[in-house]
């Protein structure tokens, strides 16, 4: 069977296919490499498989319909536009899987309104960084935290230092993400009794010791500080 006019590949449509397929590939990569938690909270992680599937369907659909009797040419402006859309894909793929660091701690607001995920301290729950964040807002949460003063805790986070902070202190910092990293809020506790000069800024550590709420702050008198690798879920979720 012969068509009166032959169908040829349209360069413009192929370029659109490349744009859609590259983004689809990125979303599949995030899923396969478990990197979603670097960018989204567990509440919104479903966006990634959704994006991967929707982009794949769009890419396949565009490829299947990319042949036409009147192929559109690919102008140089359109080619650069597709390249621009691909730039973030390249950036995300080449960069190491890093999480927000102490730089962000100096610029982001402190979490003070997040109570939903804090385990109930009254029920004997463990004291976590989420309960510390809760105490910043709720008087009840604060009172139950105070009642547990002196008990032993174990917190994981990154090392951040404030200007003029004593050599044996640092702020153990963790970020709370409710949707994507753009909404990250920080929760910090002051760690005292750290060996001076041992831990670099941005180093992930586990701090164990007795904790004491002091004024608006929570102080941990460290008995043990050990370096740990960046956790799979670098952010706390609410």
Partner 1 sequence: MAVVESRRPMTTDRRTPILVGVALVAAGVGLRALDAAGVASLRNFLIVFASLLVEALPFIVLGAAVSALIEVFVPASVFARLARMPRGLQQPIAGLGGFAFPVCECGSVPVARRLVAKGMSPAAAITFMLAAPILNPVVLVATAVAYRGRDILWPMVLGRAGLGLLVAIVTAWVLGAGRGPDILRSGGRPAGGLHDHGEVPEARWTEYFGHLASDFTMLARYLVIGAAIAAGLQTFVPQQVLGAVAGTPILNVAALMILAALLSLCSESDAFVAASFVQFGMSAQLAFLVAGPMIDAKLAVLYAGTFRRGFVLTLTALVFALTLAGALWFQVAFG
List binders of partner 1 among 176-235 (CB under 8 A). 178-183, 185
Is there binding between residue 166 and partner 1 (CB under 8 A)? no
- Comparing CB distances to partner 1, the nearer of 138 and 154 is 138
Q: Which of 92, 90, 42 is nearest to 234 (CA)?
A: 42
CA distance linking residue 168 with residue 195, whole number of Å? 6
| CA dist 71 → 12, 34, 68 (Å) | 8, 40, 5
CA distance linking residue 102 with residue 66, whole number of Å? 48
User: What single-letter DSSP state applies at residue 3?
Assistant: -
CB of 210 to partner 1, least distance (A): 28
Is there binding between residue 79 and partner 1 (CB under 8 A)? yes
CB of 108 to partner 1, least distance (A): 6
Contact pick of 28, 29, 31, 58 for partner 1 (by CB under 8 A): 58
Considering only the stretches 41-49, 146-154, 189-197, 220-228, report the one whose residues sit in contact with partner 1 under the rule CB under 8 A.
Answer: 41-49
CB of 168 to partner 1, least distance (A): 24
- Comparing CB distances to partner 1, the nearer of 21 and 192 is 21
Is there binding between residue 158 and partner 1 (CB under 8 A)? no
* Cβ 111 vs Cβ 133: under 8 Å: yes
- Comparing CB distances to partner 1, the nearer of 24 and 222 is 24
Tokens standing for 120?
Answer: 């109930």
Q: Which of 41, 177, 218, 185 is nearest to 104 (CA)?
A: 185
- Comparing CB distances to partner 1, the nearer of 33 and 151 is 33
87-146: which residues touch partner 1 (CB under 8 A)? Answer: 87-88, 90-96, 98-104, 106-116, 137-138
- Comparing CB distances to partner 1, the nearer of 62 and 148 is 62
CA distance linking residue 39 with residue 117, whole number of Å? 19
Is there binding between residue 48 and partner 1 (CB under 8 A)? yes
Burial of 191 (0-12, 13-18, 19+ CB in 10 A): buried
């Amino acid at each position: 069977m012969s068509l009166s006019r032959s169908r040829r590949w349209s360069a413009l449509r192929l370029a659109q296919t490349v744009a859609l397929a590259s983004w689809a590939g990125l979303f599949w990569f995030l899923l396969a490499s478990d990197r979603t938690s670097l960018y989204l909270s567990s509440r919104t992680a479903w966006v990634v498989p959704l994006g991967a599937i929707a982009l794949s369907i769009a890419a396949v659909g565009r490829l299947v319909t990319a042949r036409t009797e009147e192929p559109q040419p690919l102008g140089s402006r359109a080619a650069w536009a597709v390249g621009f859309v691909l730039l973030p894909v390249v950036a995300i793929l080449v960069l190491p899987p890093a999480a927000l660091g102490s730089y962000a701690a100096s610029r982001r607001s402190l979490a003070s309104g997040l109570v939903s995920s804090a385990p109930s301290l009254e029920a004997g729950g463990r004291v976590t960084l989420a309960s510390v964040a809760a105490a910043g807002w709720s008087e009840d949460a604060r009172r139950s935290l105070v009642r547990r003063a002196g008990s032993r805790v174990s917190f994981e986070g990154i090392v951040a230092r404030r200007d003029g902070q004593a050599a044996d202190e640092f702020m153990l910092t963790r970020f709370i993400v409710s949707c994507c990293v753009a909404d990250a809020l920080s929760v910090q506790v002051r760690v005292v009794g750290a060996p001076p000069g041992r831990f670099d800024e941005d180093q992930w550590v586990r701090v164990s010791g007795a904790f004491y709420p002091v004024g608006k702050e929570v102080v941990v008198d460290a008995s043990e500080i050990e370096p740990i690798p960046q956790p799979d879920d670098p952010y706390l979720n609410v």
